[in-house]
Structure 1
Amino acid sequence: MAATIGSALRWWADTKGDQRALIVEDEALTYRELQDWSSRVARRIADAGIAPGERVGVLGPNSLVWPVLALGVLKAGAVLVPLNPRLKPAELRKVLDDSGAVLTIAPVEFAGQIERTLELGQPFEARFFEEFAVLRAGGRDDFRIDTERDDPVALLFTSGSTGLSKGVVCTNRTLLDIVFEATLTEEGLRPGSTALLLLPLVFTPGVVWGLVMAVVLGNTLVIEKELRPERAVALIGEHQVNTLFGVPLVFEAIARTPAFAETDVSSLRTAIVGGAAVSPALLETWADKGVALRQIYGMTEAGGVATATVRAEAFTHPGTCGSGSIFTELKVIRPDGSDAEPGEEGEIVLRGPGVTPGYWNDPQSTAQALRDGWLHSGDLGTRDESGRVKFVDRMKDLIITGGINISPVEIERVIGELDGVDEVAVIAAADERFGETPAAIVTAGGGLDAAAVVAHCDRLVADYKVPRYVVIRSEPLPRLPNGKLSKTAIRDEYRDVTTRFEKVR
């Protein structure tokens, strides 16, 4: 089938091969260079015996070779599994087991982490970036194994309220439909634009709204290895960046730089912000520079962005996130499935072309999330008389820190393994920088302190999951009549945890 990300890359390489496709730390790849290099990568993956449909993990921080490898996996007909480099071996093992990955590609400095991951379970083949980096040199190459419209091409893993990782299936159809819908309105993305990516490539904003969007539309994607606010401001001016997306802390950090006041950032036609509450002050700061920050509501299962405020309402309706899109519909429903009245709280459900067909090898979770043609978000919201959606709270027990989902259950399980821990509840604590951060409330006997909890978590989970607040108590945690911990009562008791207790890290 021709309608794939690989076929789009081939077209732009043939029609405007000299245009810059990727710029990473000031090193650029043209579309012709990206096409040839990723084709050689695809050929190497296929020659290694990776069959179409088999899963391939790509592990590592933002770099020039990461997107080349990702495109090479797709062009080999395999299924891309982006792997967060901040995960510890046990966490990586879970994702690799869930996906059934047969090959993992990582920078050589991750060799120790790969070895420890291999020791924890079934074998998989491991190769390193350096083997594929040397393939940059060579002649013209258009190697590609085509996949079908509804074939899975990527699995994006997201935390669920159960603490179990779930692989969100992306097909050729869903990814290309997301791009198509994003271009249809006057405020939409446009071919020939330049986007700046300050977030990790491994998450939905990086894979879908960064790499896929750029390659399909023939755009230029400027990728930074990390957020450096002063440099970000300079890049917006230097490259006349048209698109920037991120969590509020990204826009706040940029706005705080002295260079922000002096730099013309009006080239930004599309500035998308989400993942945490956006303050009116932040909206006003960017509006004063001629940029309307458009708030979004979305989830990985819906391609990352399900709705965004229209530019004209970005400042006049700061608490809302739009009313859907041309093909994506949202509504708010009661527990019995009937539509909620305007202003009445209910669950946000949605349907549209970017919605996943399901979770990888998880029919139970798929059936729970996709019901009667609608994706059930597990989030509470309201709609006003004009249909604008306002996010209220999560029905699912998740913590969102810097736009990344964290399952409290996962951290509770890790802390529960410590000797002396009787019971534990992990809740969200407000954080000025990240929006939310984990707080662990632990009932334990004598001898256990916060430092031991932090050290234990630090060995087993990614750093952003390690609690920044740890409360050790001797009395039992409140429970419901059915014997389960009462998260509502615990949150209420520790709603002021950030002022009553010191940060432990």
Structure 2
Amino acid sequence: MVKGIGNWLVKHSESLPERLAVVYNEKRFTYAELNERVNRFANALLSLGVRKGDRVNALLLNTNEMLESMFACAKIGAIFVPINFRLSVDEVHYIVNDSRGYHLIYDGRMKSLVDQLRTQNSSLQEYIHVGSDPHKEDSVYEDLIAEANNVEPEFDIFLDDIHLMMYTSGTTGRPKGAMLTHGNTLWNAINFINAIPFNYSDSTLTVAPLFHIGGMSVMTTPLLYIGGTIYLDDQFDPNRVMQKIHDERITSLFLVPAMWQALTTVENFGAYDISSLQLAVSGGAPCPITVIEFFQKREIPFYEGFGLTETAPFVCILDRENTLRKNGSVGKAPIHTSVRIVDPLDRDVPSGEVGELIVNGPNVMVGYWNKPKATSEAIKNGWFYTGDLAKFDDEGFIYIVDRKKDMIITGGENVYPIEIEQLLFRHPNIREAAVIGCPDEKWGESIKAIVSLKNNSQQLSVQDIETFLNGKIARFKIPKQVEIVEALPRNATGKILKTVLRQKV
């Protein structure tokens, strides 16, 4: 009988019982200890009325309780719904009610947010508190574990059962719950270990948020699948990350581009021994080429990948052998995933031409929760339509050109903001850059660059930008407007919120 991803811990607790599984601050759990805690919490959830198919909401940071809760739900067939704790109470309330969750596991540091949530009419009936100072009516996480038994839950779990529901960022409207199965997470892990060189002796530092598919499943679940070690950190600080790699001899690291960029600003970068780091992966948004070059010069194997919540997330990755030769590409699809690039009539476009990237494979979600129309629009004949514009080169390497919705049409010409942004990143005084289209009576849209500066005492004008870009790109691609801001708006996963920028136009 297939037991789903919960069976990973069972197997490792039998074959690798003393191997270190999860580390959070001073807490260190072997696979045997982790499996026992997961079993106890799974049985506690059953005693609280959780049943197969129920959605269990969570407002948790990158702690051992986050992973334990997910695996506990997996063992009893419940669906784990991690929620971005940086959202407003109204946004959290929407997700809770949309998912129809009756149970909420929350970190005590979220107490203010949860107290506001209690005052709203929601589907929640049971609150489980992690940490100290719980509400008098709440269950306490560690008490539940201490009081529950360690018997292995016996449930019929299959690979097509849903175990995880992650809500998309909602940058274009209300967030949607992407339903990911045990099979999606399993095949994502298999794709990773076929594409990148790591094994059970490896470790990773998970500091990208686990409520996001990148934090959960780029490194974390694939390493747990093969019996590696997960170090968790619930706050991102560049120096702290460098110190942890130095102290714990971390071998792999996934960060979103904004985090990688922050590491490049560490003043005493060379003082840390990070020679153990054999795998650096960026994803979640296009990584500035200047950042990739920074790590390549320091002989740190740097991989740029591309994926989405709906694909669990692995779609393609550029391997270390081609990072220099194919800079700017996101590589090729892994062995168990297929990709196509199509025109609006679903015809494959020739190499070098731009079309929409679509994905097929066992890593593609089964659909959006309670949204059949959105599901049918996104998945057609087994192919997931990403909304990303891309092209193949003559060797089959994939280049993400831009989001379909971000493309600018000026004077009948298609302009892809990423191309301009990558050049702006090379300007010596530009720290961040985003390019958007603005309504223009003559041209349809005109191009605007919004930048933050490294040195605010040295201002930039449109003419400065024009001079810098002149000869590097076609004249019609050069921004006609420039706005300087302190910082660009980003969501919790580091993506620049261009919808926010466009609203201000």
TM-score, normalization: structure 2?
Answer: 0.78
Aligned counterpart, 1:213 = 222
Aligned counterpart, 2:207 = 198
Using the TM superposition, give the Cα deviation of residue 145 of structure 1 relative to its aligned residue in structure 2, in angstroms.
4.3
Using the TM superposition, give the Cα deviation of residue 433 of structure 1 relative to its aligned residue in structure 2, in angstroms.
6.3
> Which among 174, 177, 189 is matched to residue 184 of structure 2?
174
Aligned counterpart, 1:164 = 174
Aligned counterpart, 1:72 = 72
Using the TM superposition, give the Cα deviation of residue 394 of structure 1 relative to its aligned residue in structure 2, in angstroms.
0.9
Residues 246-261 of structure 1 mapped to structure 2, 5 A cutoff: 246-261=255-270
> Which among 295, 314, 317 is matched to residue 304 of structure 2?
295
Using the TM superposition, give the Cα deviation of residue 101 of structure 1 relative to its aligned residue in structure 2, in angstroms.
1.0
Using the TM superposition, give the Cα deviation of residue 207 of structure 1 relative to its aligned residue in structure 2, in angstroms.
2.1
Aligned counterpart, 1:361 = 370
Worse-superposed segment, 59-68 or 363-372 = 59-68
Q: Deviations over 1:181-201 (max 9, x none)?
A: 21124x343223101112111
Task: For 2:111 and 2:171, locate their aligned partners in 1 and report how far apart those are by CA, in whole Å.
Answer: 31
Residues 474-485 of structure 1 mapped to structure 2, 5 A cutoff: none
Task: For 2:447 and 2:169, locate their aligned partners in 1 and report how far apart those are by CA, in whole Å.
Answer: 21
* 2:160 paired with 1:150: yes
- Secondary structure of the 2:57 match is strand
Aligned counterpart, 2:458 = none
* 2:349 paired with 1:348: no
1:168 aligned partner, one-letter code? A
Worse-superposed segment, 200-209 or 65-74 = 65-74
Q: 1:77 to 1:297 in 2, by over 3 A?
A: same
Q: Deviations over 1:420-444 (max 9, x none)?
A: xxxxxxxxxx99767659x999xxx
Task: For 1:504 and 1:7, locate their aligned partners in 2 and report how far apart those are by CA, in whole Å.
Answer: 43
Count residues in correspondence: 431
CA RMSD of aligned residues (A): 3.0
Q: Does the 8 Å contact 1:280/1:318 carry over to 2?
A: yes
Worse-superposed segment, 263-272 or 164-173 = 263-272
* 2:500 paired with 1:499: no
Q: 1:191 to 1:109 in 2, by over 3 A?
A: closer
- Secondary structure of the 1:164 match is coil
Using the TM superposition, give the Cα deviation of residue 301 of structure 1 relative to its aligned residue in structure 2, in angstroms.
0.8
Aligned counterpart, 1:483 = none
Task: For 1:80 and 1:93, locate their aligned partners in 2 and report how far apart those are by CA, in whole Å.
Answer: 16
Worse-superposed segment, 50-59 or 137-146 = 137-146
Q: 1:233 to 1:120 in 2, by over 3 A?
A: same
Unmatched tracts of structure 1, length 5 or more: 399-429, 442-476, 481-485
Q: Does the 8 Å contact 1:34/1:68 carry over to 2?
A: yes
Unmatched tracts of structure 2, length 5 or more: 132-139, 408-423, 451-478, 490-505
Task: For 2:115 and 2:241, locate their aligned partners in 1 and report how far apart those are by CA, in whole Å.
Answer: 36
* 2:74 paired with 1:47: no
Worse-superposed segment, 210-219 or 309-318 = 210-219
Using the TM superposition, give the Cα deviation of residue 259 of structure 1 relative to its aligned residue in structure 2, in angstroms.
4.2
1:499 aligned partner, one-letter code? E
Q: Does the 8 Å contact 1:67/1:211 carry over to 2?
A: no
* 2:109 paired with 1:128: no
Task: For 2:363 and 2:302, locate their aligned partners in 1 and report how far apart those are by CA, in whole Å.
Answer: 23
Aligned counterpart, 1:328 = 337
Q: Does the 8 Å contact 2:107/2:129 carry over to 1?
A: yes
Q: Does the 8 Å contact 1:174/1:356 carry over to 2?
A: yes
Worse-superposed segment, 192-201 or 257-266 = 257-266
Q: Deviations over 1:409-462 (max 9, x none)?
A: xxxxxxxxxxxxxxxxxxxxx99767659x999xxxxxxxxxxxxxxxxxxxxx
Aligned counterpart, 2:389 = 380
- Secondary structure of the 1:489 match is strand
Task: For 1:490 and 1:241, locate their aligned partners in 2 and report how far apart those are by CA, in whole Å.
Answer: 46
- Secondary structure of the 2:349 match is coil
* 2:150 paired with 1:141: yes
Q: 1:112 to 1:99 in 2, by over 3 A?
A: same
Task: For 1:440 and 1:143, locate their aligned partners in 2 and report how far apart those are by CA, in whole Å.
Answer: 56
* 2:302 paired with 1:318: no
- Secondary structure of the 2:74 match is helix
* 2:102 paired with 1:99: no
Q: Does the 8 Å contact 2:40/2:148 carry over to 1?
A: no
Using the TM superposition, give the Cα deviation of residue 64 of structure 1 relative to its aligned residue in structure 2, in angstroms.
3.1
Q: 1:213 to 1:40 in 2, by over 3 A?
A: same
Q: Does the 8 Å contact 1:10/1:142 carry over to 2?
A: no
Aligned counterpart, 1:423 = none
Worse-superposed segment, 378-387 or 202-211 = 202-211
Task: For 1:167 and 1:7, locate their aligned partners in 2 and report how far apart those are by CA, in whole Å.
Answer: 25
Task: For 1:367 and 1:4, locate their aligned partners in 2 and report how far apart those are by CA, in whole Å.
Answer: 27
- Secondary structure of the 2:350 match is coil
Task: For 2:354 and 2:110, locate their aligned partners in 1 and report how far apart those are by CA, in whole Å.
Answer: 46
1:282 aligned partner, one-letter code? V
1:245 aligned partner, one-letter code? F
Q: 1:211 to 1:135 in 2, by over 3 A?
A: farther
Q: Does the 8 Å contact 1:57/1:80 carry over to 2?
A: yes
Identical residues among aligned pairs (%): 24
- Secondary structure of the 1:230 match is helix
TM-score, normalization: structure 1?
Answer: 0.78
Q: Does the 8 Å contact 2:42/2:75 carry over to 1?
A: yes
Using the TM superposition, give the Cα deviation of residue 297 of structure 1 relative to its aligned residue in structure 2, in angstroms.
1.5
